[in-house]
């Protein structure tokens, strides 16, 4: 029993490691970039002790980057975050956010990571929003080619 206990506590837990998190690189790597208002948060058990999963419903206010996923994600989306995955950005507070997200085709959920530029909209500057508008315009032009 002691060896099992020692083994469990000697396992290295990997933390999220981010390199050079910035607006432009986050825009380029994300599938979906938008401003949205989280209006409902559901905390569900992950199946592992006290760690939870979060399903956060968000009203989409403005889209900077995204594909029309068969008509989905034009008005609303569900964001998934798990405490089991160290890099997940957990939307556990009703608020307005600038969200850089990945699309998970198997579940239909969006998720964001700590290694992306996701943050509360109140912490976003006017210069950042102008930069996003420029990146969005460039992205739209590339799609037309």
Cα–Cα distance for residue pair 109/80, rounded to 1 Å: 6
Per-residue tens of pLDDT for the chain, all 145 residues: 444 444 444 444 456 788 788 999 999 999 999 999 999 999 887 777 777 888 899 999 999 998 765 556 778 988 988 877 778 888 888 999 999 999 888 888 899 999 999 999 999 999 999 999 999 999 999 888 7
- The pLDDT assigned to 145 comes to 76
- The pLDDT assigned to 120 comes to 96
Q: What is the CA radius of gyration of the chain?
A: 17
- The pLDDT assigned to 20 comes to 81
- The pLDDT assigned to 49 comes to 74
Cα torsion angle, 81, 84, 87, 91, sign: positive
Cα–Cα distance for residue pair 83/131, rounded to 1 Å: 31
- The pLDDT assigned to 68 comes to 61
Cα–Cα distance for residue pair 33/30, rounded to 1 Å: 7
């Amino acid at each position: 029993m002691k060896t099992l206990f020692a083994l469990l506590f000697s396992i290295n837990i990997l933390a999220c490691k981010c390199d050079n998190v910035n607006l432009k690189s986050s825009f380029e790597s994300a599938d979906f970039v938008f401003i949205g208002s989280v209006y409902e948060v559901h905390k569900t058990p992950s199946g592992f002790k006290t760690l939870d999963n979060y399903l956060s419903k968000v009203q989409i206010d403005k889209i900077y980057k995204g594909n029309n996923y068969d008509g989905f994600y034009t008005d609303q989306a569900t964001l998934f975050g798990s405490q089991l995955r160290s890099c997940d950005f957990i939307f556990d507070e009703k608020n307005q956010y600038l969200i850089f997200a990945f699309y998970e085709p198997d579940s239909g959920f969006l998720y964001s990571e700590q290694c992306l530029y996701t943050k509360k909209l109140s912490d976003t500057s006017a210069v950042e929003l102008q930069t996003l508008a420029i990146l969005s315009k460039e992205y739209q032009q590339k799609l037309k080619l």
